[in-house]
């Protein structure tokens, strides 16, 4: 892979050493172009070319099907990860005494929708981490005969720990427990195959590692489960003959499309699709290898500078997120770095660094130097 050519697709590099893809990523050049073309067309022509836009939207759906190794009809476009979690949380037929198991360090988007079920008699069990890891044995111990679903992130947002989806999913399948994955912190740059992994539901927004615009994401549901969820947010586009506006025929689509209730965020999806094409051209295995190379370099340089690497760097557990313990106030360190055009974040009282494949080792060396400089 020509990483120099790949880097040229990211205009952000003209000004910034950007290591904050676990927060909000900069748009790729192709995403900017796709959004601009859609805006210009809509401005100059109204909806005259709407059929062309919708064909391109379906092309994006096809690519997400390839990315996840599933039928594209199992993919619905949503505005964000929270919407995908809510589809499941609000749609399952709960019974008083049921429970949900999730990790205590989850991002709130994967906690609040489950806590919102308390009034229906549903318990949310938060499994604490052991240091930088969410132990599979602890998840297993929290599950009992009343557990309806286990909901975990692909990668934990603060620590960067990559959960063992295959093992947890297999355990859930054995116990007849559903398995939901918040994939936002790895989808697009780490391999994820819903045909091989026992995942029932998945959601991810496109504005992090997929380097797309905010407000455009995807929701996956295993086809066999479509009829088990009560469809929330039903609209004109939820039914099979949705573009026949003169005839009322309330027959819901037989796939994930029933949750696309109305007009889609066409521009956002086109921008997301352009970034996805860029990533798929590079190839997820190559992207993952590159990100491992960069984060390993960062960890080595950070340790040499006297910083502690909090994140697990075991091969099966590492991700594109590196959490560092650095002396001083992490918020002040973030501010100082941004004043020098280096973008990072702090989470959990630690410095969080999340480079993408277009970043370079020289940029990471500069970051470590900045973090080690005296105030």
Average pLDDT over residues 63-89: 98
pLDDT at 249 over 80: yes
Average pLDDT for residues 56-61, to the nearest whole number? 98
Give the Cα separation of 222 and 106 in Å (integer).
23
Task: Report the chain's mean pLDDT, rounded to a whole number.
Answer: 97
In tens, the pLDDT along 144-180 reads 999 999 999 999 999 999 999 999 999 999 999 999 9
CA–CA dist 352, 158 (Å, integer): 7
The neighbour count for residue 298, using CB atoms within 10 Å, is: 24
Q: Which domains does the chain have, with CATH numbers?
A: 3-27+283-372 (3.90.1150.10), 33-280 (3.40.640.10)
159 touches 310 (CB < 8 A): yes
SS3 70: coil
What kind and span of H or E run contains 63? helix 50-68
- Looking at residue 375, its pLDDT comes to 62
- Residues 77, 269 contacting (CB under 8 angstroms): yes
Q: Which residues contact 175 (CB under 8 A, 6 or more apart)?
A: 143, 147
Stretch 311-340: mean pLDDT: 97
Percent above pLDDT 70 for the chain: 100
Which residues are paired to 99 by β-bridges?
Answer: 123, 147
Read off the pLDDT of residues 269-286 as tens digits, 9 standing for 90 and up.
999 999 999 999 999 999
Mean pLDDT of all residues in 279-294: 98
Q: Which pLDDT band, with edges at 50, 70 and 90, does 91 fall under? A: very high
The pTM of the full predicted model, rounded to 2 decimals, is 0.96
Average pLDDT over residues 233-239: 96
Tokens of 9: 């697709």
Residue 373 confidence (pLDDT): 79
* The pLDDT of residue 86: 98
CA dist., res. 309 & res. 66, Å (int): 35
Split at pLDDT 50, 70, 90, the class of 261 is very high
Q: What is residue 1's predicted lDDT score, i.e. its pLDDT?
A: 87
Residue 201's pLDDT is 98
pLDDT, mean of residues 240-247: 95
Give the β-pairing of 217-221 and 201-205.
antiparallel
Q: Give the Cα separation of 27 and 49 in Å (integer).
A: 25
Is residue 109 predicted with pLDDT exceeding 90?
yes
Output the pLDDT for position 18: 98
Average pLDDT for 301-316: 97
Nearest to 77 by CA among 181, 218, 208: 218
Strand runs labelled E in the chain? 17-18, 75-78, 99-103, 123-127, 147-153, 178-182, 201-205, 217-221, 308-309, 322-325, 342-343, 345-347, 350-353
DSSP codes joined into one string, 206-219: SSSTT---TT-EEE
Q: Are 218 and 268 in contact (CB under 8 A)?
A: no
Contacts of 123 (CB under 8 A, 6+ apart): 97, 98, 99, 100
Neighbours of 262 (CB within 10 A): 11
Residue 238 predicted with pLDDT over 80: yes
């Amino acid at each position: 892979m020509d990483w120099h050519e790949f880097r040229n697709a990211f205009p952000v590099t003209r000004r910034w050493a950007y290591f904050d893809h676990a927060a909000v990523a900069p748009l790729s050049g192709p995403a900017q172009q796709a959004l601009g073309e859609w805006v210009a067309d809509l401005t100059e022509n109204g909806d005259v070319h709407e059929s062309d836009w919708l064909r391109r939207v379906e092309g994006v759906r096809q690519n997400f099907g390839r990315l996840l190794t599933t039928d594209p009809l199992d993919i619905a476009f949503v505005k964000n990860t929270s919407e995908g979690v809510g589809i499941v949380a609000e749609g399952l037929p709960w019974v008083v005494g049921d429970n949900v198991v999730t990790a205590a360090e989850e991002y709130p988007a994967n906690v609040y929708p489950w806590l919102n079920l308390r009034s229906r008699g549903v318990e949310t069990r938060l499994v604490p981490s052991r240091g930088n890891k969410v132990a599979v044995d602890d998840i297993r111990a929290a599950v009992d005969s009343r557990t309806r679903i286990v909901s975990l992130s692909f990668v934990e947002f603060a620590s960067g720990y990559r959960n063992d989806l295959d093992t947890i999913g297999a355990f859930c399948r054995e116990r007849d427990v559903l398995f939901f994955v918040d994939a936002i912190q790895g989808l697009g740059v780490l391999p994820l195959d819903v045909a091989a992994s026992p995942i029932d539901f998945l959601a991810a927004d496109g504005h992090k590692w997929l380097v797309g615009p905010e407000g455009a994401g995807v929701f996956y549901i295993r086809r066999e489960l479509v009829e088990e969820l009560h469809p929330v947010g039903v609209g004109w586009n939820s039914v099979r003959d949705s573009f026949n506006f003169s005839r009322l025929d309330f027959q819901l689509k037989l796939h994930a499309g029933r949750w696309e209730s109305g007009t889609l965020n066409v521009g956002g999806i086109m921008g997301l699709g352009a970034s996805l094409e860029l990533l798929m051209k590079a190839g997820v295995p190559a992207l993952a290898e590159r990100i491992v190379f960069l984060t390993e370099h960062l960890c080595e340089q950070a340790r040499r500078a006297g910083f502690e690497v909090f994140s697990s760097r075991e091969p099966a557990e590492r991700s594109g997120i590196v959490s560092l313990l650095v002396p001083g106030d992490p918020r002040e360190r973030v501010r100082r770095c941004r004043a020098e055009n280096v973008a990072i974040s702090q989470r959990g009282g630690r410095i969080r660094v999340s480079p993408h494949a277009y970043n370079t080792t020289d940029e990471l060396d500069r970051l470590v130097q900045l973090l080690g400089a005296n105030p």
